Amino acid sequence: MEILHIPDSERHAFDALIPAGSTTSVRLGTLGPSGTSSEYIAQSMANSFGGSGEFRIILESTYEKCLDSLAGGQVDLALVAHAYPNINSFYMNPLLEPAILFRGNTPEYGLATRPDFEFSEELLSSETVVSHPAPVPLLKYHFDQPVRLATATSTSQAAHDVANGQYNIAITNEKAMREHRLKFVYKFSHIPMTWTVFSRKVHK
């Protein structure tokens, strides 16, 4: 499955921002820690635009910190998923502007547990599921019951919280599941997501 779908018009817009063949290192900020879907898309984007300078991916603990880093000049670009509920804060910031928009498919999502945890769907009525807020609606579409939830700052953080025993079940993606040595006990799917890369406005 193709990960990124970037229209030619968006590629041209990016080339105008960072000309092809540039030797400048581009600092691309997005949501961390390692294992997030945002990092996965950032790495795919860096490979896709490999001719436009060298990308250095900088992972922040929240998208809010990505915004602050971009506005403050600590990163050159910020990659933000449209599932982020406060993405309007990027669009409304007078220092920032959208550079390109594209579609990028996330890794597969699912419910993950530690390898030694015995899972059954009945446990969803008693166990707490930890998740970033964005993929929580998956539960409604796959399970016909209310689920107790705890919030994590990212899907990777949710996987970490299960790996260290804070919770037993997480909604996370395949990349984070493998990094934290968990197992999928229920698979959802890849999520076809749209993304915006923001830059600082150039004052002429």
10-residue averages of pLDDT along the chain (204 residues): 88 78 81 96 88 80 97 96 95 96 97 97 96 94 93 96 98 97 97 96 73
pLDDT of residue 72: 96
The four Cα atoms 81, 82, 83, 89 give a dihedral, to 10 degrees, of 90
Q: Which of 190, 193, 172, 149 is nearest to 35 (CA)?
A: 172
- Calpha distance 85→200 (Å, rounded): 21
| Per-domain boundaries in the chain | 4-106+192-200, 109-187
User: What CATH number does the domain located at 109-187 have?
Assistant: 3.40.190.10
Q: How many residues would you count in the chain?
A: 204
The gap from C-alpha 18 to its chain's centroid, in whole angstroms, comes to 23
pLDDT of residue 118: 96
- Please give the class, per CATH, of domain 4-106+192-200: alpha beta
Q: How many Cα neighbours within 13 Å face the side chain of 149?
A: 17
- Asked whether this chain's domains 4-106+192-200 and 109-187 adopt the same fold, the reply is yes
pLDDT of residue 49: 81
pLDDT of residue 89: 97
Q: How many Cα neighbours within 13 Å face the side chain of 13?
A: 15
